[in-house]
């Protein structure tokens, strides 16, 4: 067992080391990304761990494993400790009737064995030097015992002191530790030192059960343990009664330095006899499955064929129930989960620890294997937790980067269009308002005339009833002075103008208000969004302000007030003339008649044409000024956006080509670490294919997938590494789909080649690729079905915003039913992350790929070429392509419009479909949804025709075929 545990501890240390390295790489990468500043002094993107993540990772990444043995009795714990070390390091207590009082014991690594007593906090008690000098193989009981309290005064120092044991054992290397709890004292349940010992360690807790039942004291202890450490898992092991004189002799053979240990029930290592374990599953009252191992030991110590007392079963069930009640065991069978299940649970829980995975093992013979497996599980879960924390940081950062890149792409695409839109709309608005100002003159004139005539009686009435405010007129009606007369006239004027102004303004507004929302709403929103991204624009330079001014020119009350003011001016002049021309100018009586007369004369003398002209020219002046201000503001805004977009493009390139791939590599590394912890290395089988970038091997199974294919890629340098990592990320995140070959995982294999580590991409294994299938004579209908499958697959990728960029025969794999799936999403990228790289396989590459500006329609082009092969039914190059001596010549021809030739067997709609698909103008290529519909129609027609032919053929067969017709069916079936 020692070796098993040592292996687990070593593995843990190895993986922890990788994790620490990954954390260092993460920090370095983030530091470098954060140190970059844009021209504006700002960080283009930031990558960081949150405070909580930092804390979580820091506090977990340096932990070392530690086995902590708790138990009902000293003897049981000693037995477990000796089994763990495979040597008798601790003596069995002398008298099993009286439970000895032993202190905490901690075993650590030391090149020379030594003993010491120390207090919590590492203060060594030096008053008992005997302990250190004592040469020992088995530590004497004297050193373990808590001193009897002679004076009735508790010796606290002695009571809490720990026996520190240093010894040379592989388990204790690299900081590993084994600890044994002190004897439980009546009334004191919790073991305070548990927290101290397990601090900065990953505790693997074993509880040695010596009796058939847990006492109240035991249950209290366990309850408290669970309360303080709710995530804890405990391995409960039933230890045989080692203090029984009958078994005592067999406890452990001390054979010198390396003591061999044999468990008392006969389970052995090396040459020891084995126990036959009869495992039976019993159902208790609660329908809970528990496993009860009944022993029929064949070794010394337990009589052969000892009948199992029914009490044993009852006890097991009782113990199970007790632990179930405390909360350690769950009603489900022990959760030694399969790797894939563990991965699933782990991912679902977001990496947090799961509910208790404690176990109860009744048969001590199972201890070595079971405790090693339990240790594996506890340590693995800890590693996974930390790995997942890091992985989440990596993926979150990468996702943010991709989203930022998307936003940047959209910004660069949309901003110039928005500016153009704003310019055009404002131009239209300005023109139409100017036009309206011209046209409106007559309208306004009419408006004024109708308003005046319509309101005439009302206004005169109002004037008659008017009570002066600024002057006191005696009942006789004689004004005190000429200035009183002026004030009276002015008040009547104001009354008239005020009422007219409001009425005219109201009508003007009403006539043009309809335009406001429908015409200007979109424009205002567009300008506002442009200004939101432009942090330099101030209130004064805002285009929205300028636009508001334009709109005010025509609609706002401000204008009408101003128009009113000018109207007032005009009217004032009018009144002056009026006053001079009045016959009763010298001393009129200011009575109702006078008021009515003044108002009537004023209304009569108002010239609508002049008023209307004045209002319109005001509107036009205002419009012109506002339009100029708008154009200037828009120009400034455009200039600022231009500079900003240049910086954005730089940042986007840096994001796409540098930051995202670097973070993707971290994602790949944490994924690989997680997968290798969970599933181990895949075992490579025979070679099944070779591509430009690596060899593909078969693999029986990995991570619950069987069979798999493993593509090995050895990236030559950092750039390739990072790019591959980014591609892996996209591919891995494509949700499962029937028409896409699933990528199951990626493992970095540092032992693959001497030169550089390899990435092993694990995917589902299929039967063959479409190239081989066509070459070996796949029939026409199956080929058509595969073409439909390919279109479905591409459509799915496009729906996720991904472009495949390498659709070709060899990247379509066929399953047992000859259904197609797209693979090799190596060049697959979201459009926002494409940097215009020229990628793909020469004959399938659309001409616009060379302009470096292309979109998802390159996949439609590639499908067109693939469909040519599907319809041709062979894999020879099209004649036109065959004539090209190299790929440059091929591309020149393709750019000139040269395409594969029409073959005799092509059905007209198939030929039409390929021609549409490989159109040189991407915007004329069909939508894949339409392609699929057409392909399905072609398939249906061919299927029906084939059915008819077969029917006809079988009818002929029944009557005997004509000699000339035999053998034609396969050619016939294959003809297109
Ligand atoms: N999942 C798989 N199942 C079965 N065979 C596969 C699988 N993946 C690849 N192959 C086989 O391995 C061959 C090589 O695949 P690989 O993806 O490395 O290269 P390729 O697609 O042919 O070319 P390139 O390297 O240019 O992409 C394929 O042609 C196919 O026959």
Which amino acid residue places its CA nearest to atom 15 of ligand 1? 691
Q: Is 844 in the pocket of ligand 1 (CB under 6 A)?
A: no
pLDDT of residue 628: 86
The residue contributing the CA closest to ligand 1 atom 19 is 691
Q: Is any atom of ligand 1 closer than 6 Å to the C-beta of 181?
A: no
- For atom 2 of ligand 1, the residue with the nearest CA is 765
56 lies in some domain: no
Q: Determine the distance separating the centroid of ligand 1 and the alpha carbon of 892, expressed in angstroms.
A: 28
Q: Are residues 783 and 811 in the same domain?
A: yes
pLDDT digits (tens, 9 = 90+) for 169-194: 888 988 889 999 888 765 555 567 78
Residues 632 and 688 in one domain: no
Same domain, 600 and 695: no
| CB distance 695 to ligand 1 below 6 Å | no
**Based on the structure, what is the number of domains in the chain?**
4
Mean pLDDT on 104-128: 75
Mark whether 754 and 770 lie in a shared domain. Answer: no
Residue nearest to atom 22 of ligand 1 (CA): 691
Q: Are 581 and 464 in contact (CB under 8 A)?
A: no
Locate 407 and state its tokens.
């936003």
CA R_g for the chain: 46
692 lines ligand 1 (CB under 6 A): yes
pLDDT of residue 205: 93
Measured from the CB, is residue 769 less than 6 Å from ligand 1? yes
pLDDT at 873 over 90: yes
In tens, the pLDDT along 575-608 reads: 566 556 555 455 567 788 888 888 887 777 776 6
**Residue 808: pLDDT over 90:** yes
Same-domain pairing of 832 and 755: no
Taking the centre of ligand 1 as the mean of its atom positions, its distance from the CA of residue 865, in whole angstroms, is 19
pLDDT at 270 over 50: no
766 touches ligand 1 (CB under 6 Å): yes
Looking at per-residue pLDDT, the higher value among 352 and 2 belongs to: 2
Are 216 and 124 members of one domain? yes
| Residue 959 belongs to a domain | yes
Q: Tell me if 510 is assigned to some domain.
A: yes
Examine residue 15 and state whether it is found in any structural domain, yes or no: no
pLDDT of residue 159: 61
Q: Are 772 and 778 in contact (CB under 8 A)?
A: no
Task: Please give the annotated binding residues for ATP, written as ranges.
Answer: 711
Ligand 1 pocket check for 690: Cβ under 6 Å: yes
Kindly indicate the confidence band of residue 303, based on its pLDDT and cuts at 50, 70 and 90: very low
| Residue 280 confidence class, pLDDT cut points 50, 70, 90 | very low
Please determine, for residue 971, whether its predicted confidence score (pLDDT) is greater than 50: no
Same domain, 817 and 904: yes
Taking a C-beta distance cutoff of 8 angstroms, is the pair 925, 860 a contact? yes
pLDDT at 109: 92
- In this prediction, residues 145-156 reach a mean pLDDT of 58
Dist. CA 916 → ligand 1 center (Å)? 29
The reported pLDDT for the residue numbered 567 is 52
Burial of residue 338 (CB within 10 Å: 0-12, 13-18, 19+) is exposed
Report how far ligand 1's centroid is from the alpha carbon of 772 (Å): 11
Q: Per-residue pLDDT tens for 499-549?
A: 877 777 666 665 555 445 555 666 777 777 777 766 665 655 566 676 666
Are 242 and 93 in contact, with CB atoms under 8 Å apart? no
For 15-29, 633-647, 857-871, which range has the lowest pLDDT when averaged over its residues? 633-647
In this structure, how many other beta carbons lie within 10 angstroms of the beta carbon of residue 189? Answer: 17
**In the predicted model, is pLDDT for residue 622 greater than 80?**
no
| Ligand 1 binding pocket includes 93 (Cβ within 6 Å) | no
Q: Whose CA is nearest to atom 10 of ligand 1?
A: 689
Residues 730, 800, single domain; the answer is: no
Distance CA 521, CA 682 (A): 61
Would you tell me the crossing angle of helices 339-348 and 660-679 to the nearest 10 degrees? 130
Does the pLDDT of residue 198 top 50, yes or no?
Answer: yes
In the predicted model, is pLDDT for residue 969 greater than 60?
Answer: no
| pLDDT for 135 | 63
DSSP class per residue in 479-543: -SSHHHHHHHHHHHHHHHHHHHHHHHHHHHHHHHHHHHHHHHHHHHHHHHHHHHS-TT--TTT-H
What is the pLDDT, as a whole number, of residue 831?
Answer: 60
Which of 723, 738, 765 is where one domain is finished?
Answer: 765
* DSSP output for 797-820: HHHTTEE-----GGGEEE-TT--E
Q: Is the pLDDT of residue 122 over 60?
A: no
Where is the domain boundary, 276, 302, 322?
Answer: 322
- Report CA(250)–ligand 1 centroid distance (Å): 61
The CA distance from 819 to 194, in Å, is: 60
φ/ψ of 201, rounded to 5, equals -130, 160
Is residue 697 domain-resident?
yes
pLDDT at 910: 97
Just list the catalytic residues. Answer: 806
Q: What is the CATH number of the domain that holds 759?
A: 3.30.200.20
Residue 813 in contact with ligand 1 by CB distance below 6 A: yes
Which ligand 1 atom minimizes the distance to the CA of 696? 12
In-domain check, residue 121: yes
Residue 552 confidence (pLDDT) above 70: no
**Cα(966)–Cα(958) distance, rounded to whole angstroms?**
13
Residue 974 has a pLDDT of 31
- Say how many residues make up the chain: 976
pLDDT in tens, 451-475: 778 888 888 998 898 888 878 877 7
Whole-number pLDDT of residue 422:
83
- CA 479 – CA 500 distance, rounded (Å): 27
Instruction: Please indicate, yes or no, whether residues 783 and 741 belong to a single structural domain of this protein.
Output: no
Domain of 731 in residue numbering reads as 681-765
Same domain, 740 and 847: no
Report which of 660, 703, 50 is spatially closest to residue 392, judged by C-alpha positions: 50
Instruction: Determine, yes or no, domain membership for 894.
Output: yes
pLDDT above 70: residue 152: no
Same domain, yes or no: 315 and 206: yes
> Which token pair is 564?
């009113």
Would residue 556 count as lying in a domain? Answer: yes
pLDDT at 102 (0 to 100):
85
Which residue lies with its CA nearest to atom 13 of ligand 1? Answer: 689
Q: How far does the centroid of ligand 1 lie from the alpha carbon of residue 479, in Å? A: 110
For residue 889, what is the domain's CATH number? 1.10.510.10
Domain boundary among 719, 741, 765: 765
Please name which of 871, 895, 435, 409 lies closest in space to residue 652, comparing C-alpha atoms: 409
Q: In this structure, are 174 and 249 located in the same domain?
A: yes
Q: What is the mean pLDDT of the chain?
A: 77
pLDDT at 252: 41
């Amino acid at each position: 067992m020692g070796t098993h545990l040592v292996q687990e501890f070593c593995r843990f240390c190895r993986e922890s080391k990788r994790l620490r390295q990954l954390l260092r790489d993460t920090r370095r990468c983030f530091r470098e990304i954060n140190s970059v500043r844009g021209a504006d002094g700002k960080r283009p993107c930031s990558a960081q761990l949150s405070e909580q993540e930092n804390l979580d990772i820091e506090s977990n990444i340096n932990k070392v494993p530690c086995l902590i043995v708790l138990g009902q009795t000293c003897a049981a714990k000693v037995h477990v400790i000796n089994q763990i070390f495979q040597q008798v390091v601790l003596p069995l207590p002398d008298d099993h009737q009286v439970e000895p009082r032993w202190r905490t014991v901690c075993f650590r690594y030391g090149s020379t064995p030594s003993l010491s007593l120390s207090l919590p906090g590492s203060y060594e008690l030096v008053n008992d030097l005997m302990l250190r000098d004592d040469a020992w193989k088995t530590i004497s009981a004297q050193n373990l015992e808590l001193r009897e309290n002679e004076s009735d005064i508790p010796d606290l120092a002695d009571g809490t002191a720990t026996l520190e044991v240093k010894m040379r054992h592989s388990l204790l290397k690299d900081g590993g530790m084994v600890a044994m709890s002190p004897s439980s004292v009546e009334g004191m349940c919790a073991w305070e030192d548990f927290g101290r010992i397990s601090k900065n360690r990953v505790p693997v807790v074993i509880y040695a059960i010596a009796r058939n039942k847990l006492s109240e004291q035991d249950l209290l202890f366990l309850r408290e343990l669970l309360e303080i450490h709710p995530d804890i898992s405990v391995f409960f092991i039933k230890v045989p009664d080692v203090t029984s004189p009958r078994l005592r002799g067999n406890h452990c053979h001390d054979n010198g330095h390396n003591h061999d240990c044999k468990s008392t029930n006969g389970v052995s290592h090396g040459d020891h006899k084995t126990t036959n374990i009869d495992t039976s599953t019993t159902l208790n009252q609660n329908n809970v499955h528990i496993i009860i191992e009944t022993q029929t030991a064949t070794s010394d110590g337990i009589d052969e064929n000892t009948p199992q007392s029914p009490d044993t079963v009852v006890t097991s069930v009782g113990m199970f129930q007790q632990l179930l009640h405390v909360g350690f065991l769950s009603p489900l069978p022990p959760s030694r989960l399969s790797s894939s299940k563990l991965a699933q649970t782990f991912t679902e829980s977001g990496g947090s620890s799961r509910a208790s995975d404690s176990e109860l093992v009744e048969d001590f013979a199972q201890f070595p294997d079971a405790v090693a497996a339990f240790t594996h599980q506890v340590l693995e879960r800890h590693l996974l937790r930390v790995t997942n924390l890091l992985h989440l940081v990596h993926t979150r950062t990468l996702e943010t980067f991709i989203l930022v890149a998307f936003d940047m792409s959209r910004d660069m695409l949309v901003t110039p269009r928005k500016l153009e839109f704003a310019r055009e709309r404002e131009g239209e608005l300005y023109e139409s308002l100017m036009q309206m100002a011209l046209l409106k003159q007559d309208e306004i004139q009419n408006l004024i005339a109708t308003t005046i005539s319509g309101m005439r009686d009302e206004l005169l009435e109002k004037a008659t009833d008017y009570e002066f405010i600024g002057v006191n007129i005696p009942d006789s009606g004689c004004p005190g002075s000429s200035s009183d007369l002026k004030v009276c006239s002015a008040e009547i004027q104001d009354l008239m103008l005020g009422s007219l102004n409001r009425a005219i303004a109201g009508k003007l507004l009403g006539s043009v208000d309809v335009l406001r929302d429908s015409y200007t709403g979109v424009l205002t929103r567009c300008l506002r969004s442009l200004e939101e991204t432009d942090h330099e624009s101030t209130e004064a330079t805002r285009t929205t302000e300028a636009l508001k001014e334009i709109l005010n020119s025509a609609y706002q009350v401000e204008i009408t007030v101003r128009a009113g003011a000018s109207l007032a001016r005009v009217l004032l002049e009018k009144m002056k003339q009026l006053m001079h021309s009045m016959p009763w100018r010298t001393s009129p009586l200011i009575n109702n008649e006078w008021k009515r007369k003044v108002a009537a004369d004023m209304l009569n003398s108002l010239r609508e044409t002049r008023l209307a002209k004045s209002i319109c020219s005001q509107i036009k002046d205002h419009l012109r000024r506002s339009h100029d201000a708008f154009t200037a503001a828009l120009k400034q805004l455009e200039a600022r956006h231009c500079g900003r977009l240049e910086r954005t493009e730089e940042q986007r390139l840096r994001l796409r080509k540098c930051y995202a791939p670097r973070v993707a590599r971290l994602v790949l590394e944490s994924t690989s670490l997680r997968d290798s912890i969970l599933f181990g290395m895949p075992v490579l089988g025979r070679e099944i294919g070779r591509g430009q970038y690596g060899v593909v091997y078969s693999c029986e199974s990995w991570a619950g997938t069987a069979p798999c294919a493993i593509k090995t890629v050895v990236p030559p340098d950092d750039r390739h590494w990072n790019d591959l990592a980014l591609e892996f990320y996209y591919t891995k995140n494509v949700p499962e789909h029937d028409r896409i070959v699933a990528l199951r995982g990626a493992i970095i294999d540092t032992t693959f080649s001497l030169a550089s580590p390899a990435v092993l991409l694990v995917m589902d294994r299929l039967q063959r690729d479409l190239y081989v299938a066509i070459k070996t004579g796949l029939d026409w209908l199956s080929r058509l079905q595969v073409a439909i499958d390919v279109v479905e697959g591409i459509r799915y990728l496009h729906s996720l915003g991904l472009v495949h960029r390498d659709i070709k025969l060899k990247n379509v794999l066929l399953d047992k039913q000859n259904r197609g799936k797209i693979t090799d999403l190596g060049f697959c990228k979201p459009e926002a992350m494409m940097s215009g790289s020229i990628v793909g396989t020469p004959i399938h590459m659309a001409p616009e790929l060379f302009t470096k500006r292309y979109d998802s329609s390159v996949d439609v082009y590639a499908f067109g070429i693939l469909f040519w092969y599907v319809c041709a039914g062979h894999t020879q190059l099209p004649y036109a392509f065959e004539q090209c001596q190299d790929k440059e010549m091929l591309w020149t021809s393709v750019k000139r419009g040269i395409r594969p030739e029409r073959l005799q067997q092509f059905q007209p709609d198939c030929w039409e479909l390929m021609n549409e698909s490989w159109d040189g103008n991407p915007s004329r290529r069909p939508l894949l949804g339409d392609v699929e519909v057409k392909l399905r129609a072609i398939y249906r027609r061919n299927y029906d025709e084939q059915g008819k032919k077969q029917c006809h053929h079988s009818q002929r067969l029944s009557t005997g075929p004509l000699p000339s017709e035999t053998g034609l069916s396969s050619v016939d079936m294959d003809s297109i």
